[in-house]
Structure 1
Amino acid sequence: MDVFGVDGWLDRGLRLLLPPRCLLCGGQGAGTRDLCAGCAGDLAPNAPCCPGCALPLATPAPACGACLARAPPFAAAWVPLRYEHPLDLLEARFKFHADLAAGRVLAEQLVDCARRAPPALPQLVVPVPLHTARLRARGYKQALELARPLARAVGVPLRHDVLLRSRATPAQTGLDAKMRRRNLRGAFAVAPDFAWPDHVALFDDVMTTGATLHEAARTLRRAGVARVDAWALARAPRR
């Protein structure tokens, strides 16, 4: 189920009845969007960043120190925005407070980024799954709802049923990188009898330490995927 149909007929109909208002400042939205041009300009692009893990960098470099010391399990990372104010406000409203208007705004920004600077296109986009217990509590998969309009915009198929969350894990919030990696060990599995293509992009909403995408990528590599890329909406700076 597409919980916010970006550019869908229902979405267009609602916008005719309800003039867009900026979700951040309350001013008039730009065009048909619930975000004004000024607040959209405050969303920080993730550049320069490490091409391997998308970590924000002060100056361009072939790789960050962590990737030089140990290459990540994905071939490249495409994360166009930085996880900082005010994007963090929209993400929190979408992820933790079921604010689907905030999710629609984030999806629109993500699609804009892909159209301006498209990533290397895979054969399949796979959003990072939620465990069924977390899904029941939240009611929707935030990574899927952002990945769906993105995959549609770049013309790549999406499957949300071939990477599975095999065990429930405690929330990652508040854990350091080492604890996040330990928390996620063995958390994913692949659907049996699925014929994986050679090149897959994993998508998550926010890449914090990268532990979730690392573990999911390792799972896909063990399943025989030759190239796994990491995609996300936003990347957090190193603490």
Structure 2
Amino acid sequence: MDWKKLSTTKITEVYSRLFLNLCYICHTKAKTTLCQSCKQGLPSNHTHCLQCKRPTYVSNILCGQCQSTPPAYQVCVAPYRFEGIIKNLIHGVKFNQRNHYIRPLTTLLSEHLMESYSGKHWPEQLLYVPSHPSRIKERGFCQTKALATQLTRELRHQLGDKCPSLTKKNPIKKIKNTQAQHSLSRKERLKGPKNSYVITSPIAKHIALFDDVMTTGSTIEHCTKLLLAAGAEQVDIWVIARTPDKEHQI
């Protein structure tokens, strides 16, 4: 009998039982990262614009912005509203060093992606909207890179070779250190992204562009246009949450 292998297996089983098989929010027993009770409390983005996934009161419509100025992307996956539990989890990662929340967030997004792309072609490459180097130094890490890395691991486990590739060096670089988005008004956010990003290396034809939250959509739109100009033929948007307009917030 291989006692070394047996002891390692048992330690792994005990560790999983004590620490991994628990809900990340309420710490009750759970087979996945969140228990059913906590999942039921998530702010799902049920009613939204068909194109940009902006939360609305009525489903199956195009919002006024998409009717007047259609976005450069055609596909957008944004399963949650940026409020409640989802907002707390994302803020925990970004501002409070709670990196253990990355796993439940990416698990939730991967589940929706598997459903959204059922029977469809997956993107070839996964890119993320990066932070400025000075912001990364201040925070200690780039949260979108960390989230995209874990998301790729989870998708690869389910998709194998069909999983979009995540390059070691992200082709999108932020060259202008803009003010933190959460501290800006909507008008200021719409002005902010111009000339803030560049594409520094070759990209695939079909891209998935990831960000944690989409608010006005100006950053996503700017990066999408840069990718299309750099040779991409299709850019799909993947975000965990979409911020409701003030009139739609509960």
Letter in 2 for 1:123: E
Q: Distance in 2 between matches of 1:219 and 1:135?
A: 22
Deviations 1:130-155 (A, max 9, x none): 11111111122211222223334151
**What are the within-5 Å matches in structure 2 for residues 208-227 of structure 1?**
208-227=215-234
Deviations 1:144-172 (A, max 9, x none): 22222333415111235211111211111
Q: Distance in 1 between matches of 2:236 and 2:208?
A: 5
CA contact (8 A) 1:15 1:32 kept: no
Alignment match of 1:230 (pick from 237, 242, 250): 237
What is residue 60 of structure 2 aligned with on the other side? 61
Which segment drifts farther, 92-101 or 139-148?
139-148
Superposition deviation, residue 234 in structure 1: 0.7
Larger radius of gyration: 2
Letter in 2 for 1:136: K
| RMSD between aligned residues | 2.3
Residues 19/78 of structure 1: CA separation in 2 closer, same or farther (3 Å cut): closer
CA contact (8 A) 2:93 2:101 kept: yes
CA contact (8 A) 1:122 1:199 kept: yes
The normalised TM-score by structure 1 is 0.85
Deviations 1:114-137 (A, max 9, x none): 233337521211011111111111
Q: Distance in 1 between matches of 2:220 and 2:110?
A: 20
**What are the within-5 Å matches in structure 2 for residues 144-159 of structure 1?**
144-152=145-153, 153=155, 154=159, 155-159=163-167
Identity of aligned residues (%): 29
Which segment drifts farther, 107-116 or 160-169?
107-116
Alignment match of 1:177 (pick from 165, 181, 186): 186
CA contact (8 A) 1:46 1:81 kept: yes
What is residue 6 of structure 1 aligned with on the other side? none
**What are the within-5 Å matches in structure 2 for residues 27-176 of structure 1?**
27-31=27-31, 33=33, 35-118=34-117, 121-152=122-153, 153=155, 154=159, 155-159=163-167, 160-176=169-185
Q: Distance in 2 between matches of 1:208 and 1:28?
A: 33
The normalised TM-score by structure 2 is 0.81
Alignment partner of 1:203 is 2:210? yes
Which segment drifts farther, 126-135 or 99-108?
99-108
Superposition deviation, residue 20 in structure 1: 4.7
Residues 148/12 of structure 1: CA separation in 2 closer, same or farther (3 Å cut): farther
How many residue pairs get aligned? The number is 226
Superposition deviation, residue 78 in structure 1: 1.0
Letter in 2 for 1:238: D
Q: Distance in 2 between matches of 1:69 and 1:43?
A: 31
Superposition deviation, residue 90 in structure 1: 1.0
Superposition deviation, residue 38 in structure 1: 0.6
SS where residue 233 of structure 1 aligns? strand
Residues 43/158 of structure 1: CA separation in 2 closer, same or farther (3 Å cut): same
CA contact (8 A) 1:94 1:103 kept: yes
Deviations 1:160-203 (A, max 9, x none): 521111121111113222211222110100114x2x22221210
What is residue 3 of structure 2 aligned with on the other side? none
CA contact (8 A) 2:22 2:31 kept: no
CA contact (8 A) 1:51 1:76 kept: no
Structure 1: segments with no counterpart, 5+ residues: 1-10
Residues 238/29 of structure 1: CA separation in 2 closer, same or farther (3 Å cut): farther
Which segment drifts farther, 52-61 or 94-103?
52-61
CA contact (8 A) 1:205 1:232 kept: yes
Structure 2: segments with no counterpart, 5+ residues: 1-11
